[in-house]
Amino acid sequence: MRDPYSVLGVSQNASDEEVKKAYRELARKYHPDNYQNNPLSDLAEEKMKEINEAYDTITKQRSGGYSRSSGGYGGGYQGNYSSGPSNPIYARARAMINAGDLQGAERLLYEAGQKDGEWYFLSGSIAYRKGWMDEAMRNYSIAVQMDPGNMEYQQALAVMRQGRMGGYQPAGYGSSAQCDPCTTYLCCSCLTPWGGPCC
Amino acid sequence: MFGYVRPMRPELKCKDLDLYQATYCGLCRCLRRRYGLIAPMLLNFDFTFLALLLWEPEERFTPCPGRCHGNPLRKRPMCPDSPALELAADESVVLAWWKLRDSVQDSGLWRGLPARALGWLLKPAYQKAARRCPGFDGTARDSLAELAALEREGCACLDRAADPFARLLQAAAPADGERGRVLGQLLYHLGRWIYLADGQDDLEEDRLAGRYNPVSARYGPDGDKAALALTMDHSLAQMGAALQLGEFGCRGPLLENIVYLGLPMVQGAVLDGSWSRMKKQKIWGKKQ
């Protein structure tokens, strides 16, 4: 394993506060929210795991063996596409999207025939992963129109409407409108180990 | 080729500006050394960005003085030749060649004459470059042919129209390993973004000439600036997310400036019509 201090980018004699600050900045950078349905999400997840372990190791060393209870981030991705009972074809398509087999999922949806809200939502997810953002937006909008009560579709569309402001930007590059405080607080407070907002 | 990919100068640190300039000058020299005296005219900001991106992260910035191609009396700090510069130089020759071929085919006998003449001058360089990167050459040929077919049929899907050029740029980085995935994703969205910016920029011109334009095909003859800005923002966000996952060593801050500040600045200028003025601005002044 790499030296935990170099993982967090701080020196060995950094204060506890500095370590915590560096950890928070990195956690904000690789937060699962920034990589939802992103083809590189597995790499971000690895990074997140690495910095979590590094922070754990350092706090353990510094407090003489006593570890904070962590594991805050783990399941950010698995929960993505697993809501509710649905058409078995859709369940298979979701599994294929999660595994990165976009062509297979596309074929499956093509053969499915009937087009309902979920069909459009899944088509939108495939388009998003491919980088076809305009198509993704269009499909998500239709999904919300067809099934306005579904939170999953609404959330996907809300993320698309945020545009660039939704993602992470390093300190000094962000604009003032970077965080919408309410949504960010709600999204992040349950995911961060310290139970507070991410930024 | 387009020049859309540039840093935001006022926000650059001095050392990053030096790095950018030395990379630009190094790419110019590399083009001249590899492809002769006319090759430096292919030099542009977009491929400077590509060279910065492709550089090995461990490699430090070690400029050395070299003579400027534009003014041989002056010496400038330049990055020494490296695999990243060479690859960027080879690929800019290949892409320039296929763009020329494209414009020869698009225009008639007389109007295509300048492009034809330029092609004739560039042919030996292209043949050499194609031998050096046959994979990129094949992808460039195929995707530009695919793009031409989509344009002929008047494709109304923005993403489908942008896809060939995006995949072409994606092929500019070696695709292996984690780094290949990160660079591939970043370059795909850069290509998509450039294609859309170019479409918006040419909107008026294409309408007068009666040519296909992806933006007017999707949003109607006047375009839809808000919708286009949103979908371009999505590509910028994807590029930022990919950039954070890669290792870029001392080139990281400069790349961040370009992705987080330079590209949004250019996007704003393209959308509000001030791009034609900005395009002519130099990033550094004549006096050093």
Query: Cβ B245–A161 below 8 Å, yes or no?
Result: no
Residue B3: exposure state from Cβ atoms within 10 A (0-12, 13-18, ≥19): middle
Q: Which residues pair with B78 in a beta bridge?
A: B64
Q: Nearest C-alpha of chain A: how many angstroms from B67?
A: 35
User: Which pLDDT score, from 0 to 100, does residue A198 have?
Assistant: 46
Chain A residues within 8 A of B241 when measuring between CB atoms: 34-35, 38, 40, 44, 167-168
Q: Nearest C-alpha of chain B: how many angstroms from A66?
A: 31
pLDDT in tens, A109-120: 988 878 889 999
Identify whether B129 is part of a domain: yes
Identify whether B1 is part of a domain: no
Q: What is the ipTM of this complex?
A: 0.88
Phi first, then psi, for residue B286 (nearest 5°) are -70, -35
Identify whether B281 is part of a domain: no
Average pLDDT score, chain B: 91
Residue A31 has pLDDT above 70, yes or no: yes
Identify whether B70 is part of a domain: no
Q: How far apart are CA B164 and CA B166, in angstroms?
A: 5
Q: Nearest C-alpha of chain B: how many angstroms from A176?
A: 14
Q: How far apart are CA B215 and CA B203, in angstroms?
A: 7
pTM above 0.90, yes or no: no
CA dihedral sign, ordered B94, B97, B102, B103? positive
Query: Cβ B237–A166 below 8 Å, yes or no?
Result: yes
Q: How many structural domains is chain B composed of?
A: 1
- Contact by Cβ (8 Å): B231, A164: no
User: Which pLDDT score, from 0 to 100, does residue A66 have?
Assistant: 54
Q: Nearest C-alpha of chain A: how many angstroms from B238?
A: 8
Please compute, for residue B24, the number of CA atoms within 13 A of its CA located in the half-sphere on the CB side.
21
User: Which pLDDT score, from 0 to 100, does residue A105 have?
Assistant: 92
Q: Which of residues 259-288 of B touch A (CB under 8 A)?
A: 260-261, 264
Angle, helices B158-170/A133-146, rounded to nearest 10 degrees: 140
Identify whether B174 is part of a domain: yes
Average pLDDT score, chain A: 79
Asked if A140 has any chain B CB less than 8 Å from its own CB, the reply is: no
Identify whether B13 is part of a domain: yes
Q: How far is CA A178 from CA A44, A169, B11, in A?
A: 21, 8, 18
Identify whether B2 is part of a domain: no
Identify whether B68 is part of a domain: no
**CATH number of the structural domain spanning residue B182:** 1.10.600.10
pLDDT in tens, A40-60: 999 999 999 999 999 999 998
Look up the domain containing B113 and give its range. Answer: 9-63+76-272
Query: Mean pLDDT throughout A175-197?
Result: 46
DSSP category for residue B174? -
**Nearest CB to B261; choose among A137, A163, A173:** A173
